[in-house]
């Protein structure tokens, strides 16, 4: 059973359905989204969380972090296996809703309109018993080639670093695009560099591939860049802080 019908719930339900897992019910307050997802996975639908079908082997909560605890309690479960899909919420938040709990966290961003290959997405598992852990691992391995058991503190660290690697990286692209637009230069000129940099990050020692004026200690170029950014406020501060961080990291590892 899947509780929720948003981006993550949709992709998880479809991925499980494609692998032959019987998604027996979709619970979602919004009827339009819930019924649409239910049709796609040939499941029943209900808007009332307390109408959960207790015949389900697994109750998969794919709702917002702030709603997890309240929705979990509203299901009225006892010992059914209940898991959430959040990277930043402790597993223990489910402890008052069921005696069998866990986490089923896919490390990826999701959009309903973009098809995702779950086979390449890391799925991080946690459970309150070894038996529940094995159940979740078996399910995860149906849809992903990259499964790992992480406890709640480890998963929170992973989620935090994903903000650096994903969200912050994307904002760096946004800054570059904004600055280029101001000078009538197309962002597309940077795309080959972005793709090459991302490809190089496949190696374990990411910093060994670091390039640019900061790693070279080229103070003249950095000062010139800072002068160019002087009218762009926070962009100059970001450039200066990251450059200093690169230099500090290099010196610490030399």
Q: In this predicted model, what pLDDT tens digit does every residue of 78-118 receive, in sequence order?
A: 899 999 999 999 999 999 999 999 999 999 988 777 777 88
Domain ranges in the chain with CATH number 1.10.1040.20: 156-253
Distance in angstroms (rounded) separating the CA atoms of residues 137 and 122: 12
Tokens 């499941």 belong to residue: 43
Residue 7 · residue 64 · CB < 8 Å:
no
Strand order across the 25-27 sheet = 44-46, 25-27, 2-3, 58-61, 81-84, 100-106, 122-127, 146-149
Question: What would be the CATH architecture of the domain defined by 156-253?
Answer: Orthogonal Bundle (1.10)
Classify 100 as helix, strand or coil: strand
Q: What is the pLDDT of residues 227-239, one digit of tens each?
A: 999 999 899 999 9
Q: What is the pLDDT of residues 192-220, one digit of tens each?
A: 999 999 888 887 789 988 999 999 999 99
Domain ranges in the chain with CATH number 3.40.50.720: 2-150
Burial class (CB in 10 A: 0-12, 13-18, 19+), 137: middle
Q: Which residues contact 19 (CB under 8 A, 6 or more apart)?
A: 142, 143
Which runs of E-coded beta strand occur in the chain? 2-3, 25-27, 44-46, 58-61, 81-84, 100-106, 122-127, 146-149
Q: What is the CATH number of domain 2-150?
A: 3.40.50.720
Q: What is the pLDDT of residues 164-197, one digit of tens each?
A: 999 999 999 999 999 999 999 999 999 999 999 9
174: tokens are 């946004």
Q: pLDDT value at position 126?
A: 98
* Model pTM score: 0.87
């Amino acid at each position: 059973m899947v509780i929720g019908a948003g981006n993550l719930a949709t992709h998880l339900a479809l991925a499980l359905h494609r692998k032959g897992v019987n998604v027996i019910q979709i619970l979602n307050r919004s009827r339009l989204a819930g019924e649409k997802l239910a049709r796609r996975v040939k499941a029943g639908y209900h808007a009332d969380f307390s109408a959960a079908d207790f015949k389900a082997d697994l109750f998969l909560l794919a709702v917002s972090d702030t709603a997890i605890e309240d929705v979990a309690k509203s299901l009225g479960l006892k010992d059914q296996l209940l898991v959430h899909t959040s990277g930043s919420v402790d597993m223990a938040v489910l402890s008052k809703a069921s005696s069998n709990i866990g986490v089923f966290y896919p490390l990826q961003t999701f959009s309903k309109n973009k098809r995702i290959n779950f086979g390449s997405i890391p799925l991080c598992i946690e459970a309150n018993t070894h038996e529940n852990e094995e159940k979740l691992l078996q399910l995860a391995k149906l849809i992903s080639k990259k499964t790992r058991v992480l406890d709640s503190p480890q998963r929170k660290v992973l989620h935090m670093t994903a903000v650096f690697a994903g969200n912050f990286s994307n904002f760096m692209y946004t800054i570059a695009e904004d600055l280029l637009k101001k000078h009538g230069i197309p962002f597309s000129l940077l795309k080959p560099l972005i793709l090459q940099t991302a490809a190089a990050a496949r190696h374990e020692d990411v910093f060994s591939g670091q390039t640019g004026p900061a790693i070279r200690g080229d103070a003249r170029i950095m000062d010139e860049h800072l002068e160019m950014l002087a009218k762009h406020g926070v962009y100059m501060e970001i450039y200066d802080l990251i450059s200093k961080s690169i230099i500090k990291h290099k010196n610490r590892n030399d």
